[in-house]
Amino acid sequence: MSPTMAPPTGATAPIDAKPPQRAAAAAPRYRKDIDGLRAVAVLLVVVYHVWLDRVSGGVDAFLMISAFFLTGSFVRRLEAGKPLAIVSQWIRTFKRLLPAAAVVIAATVIAATFIMPASGHPDLWRHAWASLFYYENWALAAESVDYYADTSLASPLQHFWSLSVQGQVFLLWPLLFAVIAFLRWALGRRSVRAVALVCFAAVFTASLAYSIVTTQEHQESAYFNTGARVWEFAAGSILAIVLPWIRLPRLLGAIIGWLGLAALLACGMVLDVQGGFPGYLALWPVLAVAAIILAGSPEEKGFGPAILLETKPVLALGRDAYALYLVHWPILVLTLIARRGEPLGFFEGLALILVSMVLARLLTWLVDARVRRLAWANSNNFRGALVILLSILLVAVPVISFQASSAAQVAELTADEDGGPDLSKTNPGALVLQRGWNGEIDPDAPRRPLPQEIETQWGGLPESCDDGELPPLPEGLPLCWQNSMHSPSRTIVLFGNSHMQQWLPPIARIAEQERWHLVFLGYAACAFGLRDVVEGEDADIFHSPECRQWNESVLTFVEEVQPDVVMTIGAATVPTDEDADENQGALEHVLEGAETSIERLQEMDIPIILIRDNPRFTFDNFVCVEQAEAPEDCDVARSRALAPENPANALLRAGVSLVDVNDFICPGDTCPAVIGNVNVYIDDNHLSIFYTKSLAPMLAEQLVPLVKSSGDRRPSLEFD
């Protein structure tokens, strides 16, 4: 969505066909039809978000339109011999964009802090900073966020990714024009448009090629990648440069314009936008916008799409397009969160759109238009910069206040824990399931982990593997942790994905008591097992060449280190919930390729311990507890979450042992969401470290005898 939906003064495009120098001298005619085009694009975005749960291609239209206006302004400035005034341009741009954006960000943060589950607050505040400083797209790319996932779980500020891309381009484009001005001078004062055309053609070609490659390799990340989007801006710049040279017959122009409008409207329904953009498929909305702009105004083309785009209702919507884009997404996401993800019906969606339009009108009238027309702020750069600073403070004050309050709450509750708390009276977790438990839980104690502690609930050992103690790691083992242990009694290599990683804290406690040296090798989403590589549309990390190489590298490392035991997960559970079909099929399955890897380990004569996987759900168990009237509402029957028997029994043979503590995760007939005032899960499939630590005694009861019976294979592995 373009932050230039309300065009700045003078941001118009010439529609005559005079030579470049004469065109610069003539006053360009205002393009009302492009204001109307903004209305169409924003309506596409809103309608597709609210009712169709798809991506429309409207954002791509705005990316091109914003560059079209910006480039036209700079080209005319150079043709008239005026200075570029880059710093002034930056200040004018962000003085115009930030006030309305800041109001929406601040309002969203305040509203969402009270509506969203507390576990989502840290992400909310992080996205607020990213949106304010125009790097939200990179934040989302780094998180590998799926933009097309259930919007009830999306960030209410996620839509700022496109504004961030444009903000970055608004910083870059003036610098590109400085290069163009220099090249024009170095080439003997060549035509501004000719030099600019060559430059933007080069940018277009390079960025489109990069976009195609990155979209094929990692589409979710490429969707937010500025480099993969720059070509859309370059396309708008090229159109602004060549437009005065183009004359189309009236009939042809009208036909092209209407075809372009039809193509833009159909884009989101015809194309797989969510799976193919922003690669070559994004040419569809870009070329559609180009066709509409080429069709021109009704004075020129008579019966082109401008006769619709310049009607009063459409122009009124175009006037508020920027504000409508800003407000509709937070309202939609927060509404869905309040409804626990229940989708909107037609009339509910219509009401939401109408409310968004009213708020957009108010935002434009009270903030956007008033700041733009404020003579005091427009008088010099210092005052313009002050408006920008005040906009930043409008967001910074509430965000910092919420963050400080949250940190103070955590500090107060954990002040006496000293890093190794005795939680038996406040948060005993699985200890309440032990035979002979007769303790009482403080009824006033908060449930742990606190929502603010979610990010700490991933298992990890304190040391890295780069201290020279271990042999050099084979290529393909990027993640390695170990504990510090002098004169260890055993060396154990643990490896796997996050479901193995979550067991590190309790195993580390046991290791400290038993004097074991632990080494953990991890790869997110890549589990144990030498699987065949799958390429094409069905490819995933689980079957990727990188995952296969990681498993090979682990076996190479194990063969060289010769540990006393290796430990991993041998089977995986299937996501389920209380409403699942009784005959949904296998609840657990042996990991593909596990048997092949076990055979390799047996050839090395290295004992293997396989830990049984925990239940997985189709819903976020932690959030469910936050929102439910009672934690029991989020419990799931054991018969729907775990198979009657451990499927890893099929892997039992000489040198292979099994560990299963699911009786303390799903005691009796139920898999509770909360046990002993501790959240068992932190999301839809990972156990909280608070809970796995409380399982340490039960885990030790099974694990210690198996490790001791393994024999001592490598007593020389010691720390200096």
**Nearby residues of 12 by Cβ (< 8 Å), 6 or more positions away:** 28, 29, 30, 31, 69, 72
Say how far apart CA 131 and CA 105 lie, in whole Å.
8
Query: 3-state secondary structure string, 270-338?
Result: HCCHHHHCCCHHHHHHHHHHHHHHHHCCHHHHCCCCHHHHCCHHHHHHHHCHHHHHHHHHHHHHHHHHH
The mean per-residue pLDDT over the stretch 373-377 comes to 88
As annotated, the residues of the chain forming the CATH 3.40.50 domain(s) are: 455-708
Q: Residue 81 in contact with residue 16, Cβ under 8 Å? A: no
Virtual torsion, Cα 271, 273, 274, 277, nearest 10 deg: 130
User: What pLDDT shows up at residue 297?
Assistant: 65
Please give the CATH number for the structural domain made up of 455-708: 3.40.50
Tell me if residue 697 falls in helix, strand or coil: helix
Q: Residue 378 in contact with residue 384, Cβ under 8 Å? A: yes
Residue 406's nearest CA partner among 158, 123, 154, 133 is 123
SS3 content of the chain, % helix, strand, coil (to 5): 60, 5, 35
Tell me if residue 27 falls in helix, strand or coil: coil
User: What pLDDT shows up at residue 537?
Assistant: 59
Decide which of 491 and 486 is more confident.
491
277 has a pLDDT exceeding 90:
no
Residue in the structure block whose two tokens are 């068992």: 680
137-167 pLDDT, tens digit per residue, is 999 988 864 443 444 468 999 999 999 999 9
Say how far apart CA 302 and CA 675 lie, in whole Å.
72
Ranges 112-116, 143-147, 584-588: which has the least confidence: 143-147
212 has a pLDDT exceeding 80:
yes
**Nearby residues of 170 by Cβ (< 8 Å), 6 or more positions away:** 3, 66, 70, 90, 93, 94
Q: What does DSSP assign to residue 448?
A: B
Structure tokens at 423: 């939680």
- pLDDT band with cut points at 50, 70 and 90 for residue 389: very high
Question: How many other C-beta atoms can be found within 10 angstroms of the C-beta atom of residue 54?
Answer: 16
User: What pLDDT shows up at residue 1?
Assistant: 40
The mean per-residue pLDDT over the stretch 128-132 comes to 97
Half-sphere exposure of 96 (CA within 13 A, CB side): 20
Whether pTM > 0.75 for this model: the answer is yes
User: What pLDDT shows up at residue 467?
Assistant: 67
Residue 232's nearest CA partner among 217, 248, 215, 245 is 215
Q: Residue 13 in contact with residue 297, Cβ under 8 Å? A: no
413-470 pLDDT, tens digit per residue, is 776 554 444 677 889 999 999 988 888 888 888 999 999 888 889 888 878 887 667 7
User: What pLDDT shows up at residue 153?
Assistant: 61
19 has a pLDDT exceeding 80:
no
Q: Residue 29 in contact with residue 14, Cβ under 8 Å? A: yes
Share of the chain above pLDDT 70, in %: 89
User: What pLDDT shows up at residue 459?
Assistant: 85
Tell me if residue 37 falls in helix, strand or coil: helix
- pLDDT band with cut points at 50, 70 and 90 for residue 713: low
Residue in the structure block whose two tokens are 């990155």: 214
User: What pLDDT shows up at residue 20?
Assistant: 42
**Nearby residues of 496 by Cβ (< 8 Å), 6 or more positions away:** 522, 523, 527, 528, 568, 569
Say how far apart CA 81 and CA 92 lie, in whole Å.
20
H or E element at residue 136: helix 136-143
Beta strands in 539-583 (DSSP E): 565-569, 571-573
The mean per-residue pLDDT over the stretch 375-402 comes to 94
